[in-house]
């Protein structure tokens, strides 16, 4: 699987996905730290990819996303944005709503498909 295919698969399989430097518990840059803290504060599950451990994704994702910097937040298959946008949305209460609705949508879809 090439890198773009891996990126597409990660985005499609994870309703809330943060591409960041480091991990939420051990971020490797201030912007990734701020973004992951905002997501953690929303109390919803999210996945992450450490781009420092995945240099191919680090190189290809900015081209695929047409977004040059990290972190990058993807929700429901769509690029939300980077640190500034994440923080602004969090401060306005929009991020919490988006994550809650997305998580609920996917958990109810999982419940329905289990029947």
Q: Which of 90, 20, 95 is nearest to 58 (CA)?
A: 20
Residue 43 lies in a domain: yes
- pTM greater than the 0.75 cutoff: yes
46 in a domain, yes or no? yes
Residue 112 located in a structural domain: no
Domain count, the chain: 1
pLDDT tens by residue, 12-62: 999 999 999 999 999 999 999 999 999 999 999 999 999 999 999 999 999
Contacts of 100 (CB under 8 A, 6+ apart): 42, 44
Q: Which domain holds residue 45?
A: 3-84+91-107
Mean pLDDT to the nearest integer, 78-82: 98
Q: What is the CATH number of the domain that holds 10?
A: 3.40.30.10
Looking at the domain assignment, is residue 114 inside a domain? no
């Amino acid at each position: 699987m090439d890198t773009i295919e891996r990126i597409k698969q990660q985005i499609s399989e994870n309703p809330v996905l943060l591409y960041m430097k480091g991990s939420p518990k051990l971020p490797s840059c201030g912007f990734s730290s701020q973004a992951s803290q905002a997501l953690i504060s929303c109390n919803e599950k999210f996945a992450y990819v450490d781009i420092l451990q995945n240099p191919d994704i680090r190189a290809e994702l900015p081209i695929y996303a047409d977004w040059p910097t990290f972190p990058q937040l993807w929700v429901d298959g769509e690029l939300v944005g980077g640190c500034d946008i994440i923080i602004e949305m969090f401060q306005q209460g929009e991020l919490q709503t988006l994550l809650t609705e997305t998580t609920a949508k996917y958990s109810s879809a999982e419940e329905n498909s289990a029947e």
